[in-house]
Amino acid sequence: MQHYTIIPVILCGGAGSRLWPVSREMHPKPFIRLSDGQSLLQKAFLRGAQLPDVSEILTVTNRELFFKTEDEYREVNVRRLATSFLLEPFGRNTAAAVAAAALYVAAKQADAILLVLPADHLIADQSAFAKAVEEARRLAEQGKLVTFGIQPVAPETGYGYIEADGHRVLRFVEKPDAATAAAYLKTGRFYWNSGMFCFKATTMLEEMRQHCAGILDAVQTCLTQSRCVEGKGLTQCELEPDGFAKVPDISIDYAVMEKSDRVAVVPCDIGWSDIGSWSALGELSTADANGNRVEGEALLHDVENCFIHSDGRLVGAVGVHDLIIVDTPDALLVADKARAQDVKHLYNQLKASGHEAHKLHRTVHRPWGDYTVLEEGDRYKIKRIVVKPGASLSLQMHHHRSEHWIVVQGMAKVVNGEKEFFVAANESTYIPAGHRHQLANPGVLPLVMIEVQCGDYVGEDDIVRFEDVYGRA
């Protein structure tokens, strides 16, 4: 039998609205770090990288998350696997992402099998996962579109289900109510729909051509108009926005899996969770004698069955029970544990009102490093800026604000108008409004500085870029 290359495809997107305020639009659920220091995205990367014969990881993600994703991979890619990126200008659901991945891979390797992995899931048993993938691979080689069915341990109402007879899929069903879910469990024929898939790229393209040709044609047209750049071990393709906007917004389940007669399922018990709420995330922590799970620093008195997460501040709780308390520098969540799924309503309210807390944290990641807003008021803003070694910000100018830069660690290389000079630790410089300027870190250690902005307007959109190595407008 022909040997097919297997390429893990990581889908990294979504808002993770049920995990607000840690998850934001520009810092979605895959980037949440667990107690071992690794993010869900890094775990997904390693999940694919540790499989036999894998030499490349393909990721489909938002253009704005590319540099952040690249940084995450760099920390764990010890094997120096090749990484490829399909960069979406905005979300268009999983059918578009899968179509783009299948077309991209088929054009390079007609004998490739794709293993589609959501970036925000957790799998505890890598060995069982590898065995399930090998079983799925054999079915995929036979021309099947394979999905992974998770052995249910409770009548969950938050998951879709797959009814199966062995490997044969009988039907996909929507998220059931509690009574229906309990009835499903009793039959022994139903599995949770994991959202993971395995198939030959050519098989998926054949089925898309039959069941959702409009999606496939739109993505194909978009790809032909897209810009791809190849470097050492890294390829990135930016999907052309106008063409991508014409792709229907629909899931791969609806578009193909529920219609095709070539679908198979691999039932598995791999310690899977989609970490769909703070309750699920809290279960990963060890409970104390009173059932409390704490991440961070907390003082508790007469507290039972609570989950408390704090990024830095001390949390005090007295006489409360069955609560979720999540504290971040700019937002605090207090929720009844039984209503964990409803956190998404707060996120949706913030987004509808245009509040920045749905999109950004006070610490914002950029290709060159990050900045943290320390304080903001009428006509001023104070930031802590960290620039990676060897990195530089764009050559830019602001119309409405001046900036004072104080270096506290490292050495800064500064362009200010017609002058170019260095600023060492415990030194400062002043950038008047209207001056072209640029900040760079020529050293081998992170550059840390405090920036004080003053002016009529200190919004992030008051920026004119003249040169930018990261391809931003």
The tally of CA atoms less than 13 A away on the side-chain side of residue 152 is: 23
Residue 428, Cβ neighbours under 10 Å: how many? 14
Domain membership of residue 425 (yes or no) is yes
Distance from first CA to last CA of the chain, Å, rounded?
Answer: 50
**441 and 396 in one domain?**
yes
Beta bridge partners of 11: 60, 118
Domain end call among 345, 371, 403: 345
* 338 and 228 in a common domain: no
Radius of gyration of the chain, Cα coordinates, nearest whole angstrom: 24
**pLDDT per residue over 160-214, tens digit each?**
999 999 999 999 998 888 899 899 888 989 999 999 999 999 999 999 999 999 9
3-class state of residue 383 by DSSP:
strand
Q: Say if residue 190 is in the same domain as residue 311.
A: no
pLDDT computed for residue 168 by the predictor: 93
Report if residue 355 sits inside a domain: no
Spatial separation of the C-alpha atoms in residues 74 and 80, rounded to whole Å: 8
Of 293, 314, 345, which residue is a domain's last? 345
Q: What's the mean per-residue pLDDT of the chain?
A: 93
Per the structure, the complete domain to which residue 300 belongs is given by: 278-345
The CA–CA distances, whole Å, from 183 to 155, 156, 190, 300 equal 8, 11, 10, 40
Does pLDDT of 434 surpass 60?
yes
Are 96 and 221 members of one domain? Answer: yes
State the pLDDT at residue 2: 62
For residue range 70-121, what is the model confidence (pLDDT) as tens digits?
Answer: 999 999 999 899 999 999 999 899 999 999 999 999 999 888 999 999 999 9
Residue 473 lies in a domain: no
Q: Residue 280: pLDDT above 80?
A: yes
Has residue 350 been placed in a domain?
no
Same domain, 88 and 138: yes
294 and 331 within one domain: yes
Instruction: Give 390-428 as a DSSP string.
Output: T-BPPEEE-SSEEEEEEEEES-EEEEETTEEEEE-TT-E
Number of domains in the chain: 3
Task: State mean pLDDT over 231-243.
Answer: 89
Whole-prediction pTM: 0.90
- Residues facing residue 364 across a β-bridge: 371
Which tokens hold the place of 279? 């309750």
Domain membership flag for residue 358:
no
User: Does residue 442 have a cis bond before it (omega within 30 degrees)?
Assistant: no
Q: Which residue has the higher pLDDT, 157 or 454?
A: 454
What pLDDT score was predicted for residue 111?
Answer: 85
State how far the alpha carbon of 278 is from the alpha carbons of 17, 21, 123, 250, 319, in Å: 11, 10, 17, 27, 21
CA 13 – CA 199 distance, rounded (Å): 21
Percentage of the residues of the chain whose pLDDT score is greater than 70: 99
Domain boundary among 273, 302, 334: 273
In a domain, 261, yes or no: yes
395/255 same-domain check: no
CATH code for the domain of 234: 3.90.550.10
Q: Are residues 460 and 428 both part of a single domain?
A: yes
Domain membership flag for residue 34? yes
Instruction: Mention every residue, 6+ apart, whose C-beta is less than 8 A from residue 107.
Output: none
Q: Any idea what the CATH number is for the domain that residue 400 is in? A: 2.60.120.10
User: What residues are paired with 382 via a beta bridge?
Assistant: 375, 452
Give the orientation angle of helix 40-49 with respect to helix 66-76, to 10 degrees. Answer: 60
Q: What is the mean pLDDT of residues 423-436?
A: 96
* pLDDT score, position 244: 94
- Strand-pair partners of 189: none
In angstroms, rounded to a whole number, what is the distance separating the alpha carbons of residues 244 and 221? 9
What's CA 14's distance to the chain center, in Å? 7
Residue 473 has pLDDT above 60, yes or no: no
Judge whether 200 lies within some domain.
yes
- Co-location of 242 and 296 in the same domain: no
Q: Are residues 314 and 391 in the same domain?
A: no
381-429 pLDDT, tens digit each: 999 999 999 999 999 999 999 999 999 999 999 999 999 999 999 999 9
Answer yes or no: do 218 and 339 share one domain. Answer: no
Are 154 and 295 in the same domain? no
Residue 230 — very low, low, confident or very high, per pLDDT cuts 50/70/90? confident
Q: Measured between alpha carbons, how far is 142 from 96 in angstroms, rounded to an integer?
A: 24
Q: What pLDDT does 470 receive?
A: 78
pLDDT at 247 over 90: yes
> Which position has the token pair 């245009």?
354
Flag whether pLDDT at 232 surpasses 90. Answer: no
